[in-house]
Chains A and B, each alone.
Chain A
């Protein structure tokens, strides 16, 4: 079976300043949904703290920094989740994916910038170094034979060109269950 993994975490939202106006007529799920500036600020802080801490920040940590209530942070995260800008856990309380970074341990480990991260899937694993603009080393396993795979990415090029990437679910359905792609 396909792994439970993060998809590409694409955020296909339309930037919007000012009031919390939501775009109507969504094409599908969060595609082309607007995100207002306060939520973009929340999103950017969430990413920064994920990098600084080396793990997903909690709602309490973000609330303290933003001098907001935890409920306000979670409400913002829910809007970002609906817009595919982050992915929350099943209870819609804490972060599950801050793509390409994974909030939980996965089969895709990435060393980059002197630290290590979990990525949500193979696509995201290559995205960690891309997002940080550094070289990276990716450790995962072949789902077929279970052999370990280590790929070093230097100057955006992988050192093992025999490897292949497979996505089982068509793009139109990625967000039907972003954990299964």
Chain B
């Protein structure tokens, strides 16, 4: 889970390997806030797998790369 200058840098870094998923830094930021925003809440409770999946789906992060087991 790495940050790159651009997609061109990702492609070069992959060096022919099968790519995973690439998203914009803006979407990453949205994801981070949705995922981690409640982490220090004293009333924090664990999430279900489906709740977590809904966060991904809600940001348009779908497909095999983003499907939780």
Interface residues of A (CB under 8 A from B): 2-3, 5-8, 10-15, 27-29, 31-32, 34-35, 40, 44, 47-48, 51, 83, 85, 99-100, 121-133, 138, 140, 142-145, 147, 149, 151, 153, 156-158, 160-173, 175, 181
Other-chain residue from B9, B17, B51, B66 in contact with A144 (beta carbon distance below 8 A): B9
Contact status B39-A47, CB under 8 Å: yes
- Specify which chain B residues have a CB less than 8 angstroms from the CB of A2 in the assembled complex: 1-2
Contact status A166-B10, CB under 8 Å: yes
Expressed in whole angstroms, the minimum distance between the Cβ of B48 and any Cβ of chain A is 6
Contact status A166-B2, CB under 8 Å: yes
Known A28-B69, A130-B37, A171-B68; contact A165-B47, beta-carbon cutoff 8 A:
no
Other-chain residue from A48, A123, A153, A162 in contact with B31 (beta carbon distance below 8 A): A123
Contact status A163-B48, CB under 8 Å: no
Instruction: Please list 26 pairs of residues, one from A and one from B, whose beta carbons are closer than 8 Å in the complex, sorted by A's number.
Output: A5-B2, A10-B47, A12-B51, A13-B46, A27-B69, A32-B49, A40-B45, A121-B2, A123-B1, A124-B1, A126-B32, A127-B35, A127-B36, A130-B32, A131-B36, A140-B3, A151-B3, A156-B30, A158-B26, A158-B29, A161-B25, A165-B3, A166-B13, A172-B67, A173-B69, A181-B1
Expressed in whole angstroms, the minimum distance between the Cβ of B47 and any Cβ of chain A is 5
- Please, how many angstroms separate the alpha-carbon atoms of A7 and B69 in the complex? 14
Contact status A165-B33, CB under 8 Å: no
- Please, how many angstroms separate the alpha-carbon atoms of A122 and B28 in the complex? 9
Q: A44-B44, A131-B39 are known contacts; what are 7 more A-B pairs with Cβ within 8 Å?
A: A3-B1, A44-B42, A143-B4, A143-B9, A144-B13, A175-B69, A181-B1
Contact status A14-B46, CB under 8 Å: yes
- Please, how many angstroms separate the alpha-carbon atoms of A122 and B20 in the complex? 15
Expressed in whole angstroms, the minimum distance between the Cβ of B57 and any Cβ of chain A is 11
Expressed in whole angstroms, the minimum distance between the Cβ of B31 and any Cβ of chain A is 7
- Specify which chain B residues have a CB less than 8 angstroms from the CB of A162 in the assembled complex: 5-6, 25
Q: Which residue of A lies closest to B21 (CB)?
A: A167
Other-chain residue from B5, B7, B19, B35 in contact with A8 (beta carbon distance below 8 A): B35
Known A31-B68, A144-B12, A165-B2; contact A83-B31, beta-carbon cutoff 8 A:
no
Q: Which 4 pairs of residues, A with B, have the shortest CB-CB distance?
A: A13-B46, A127-B36, A126-B32, A121-B1
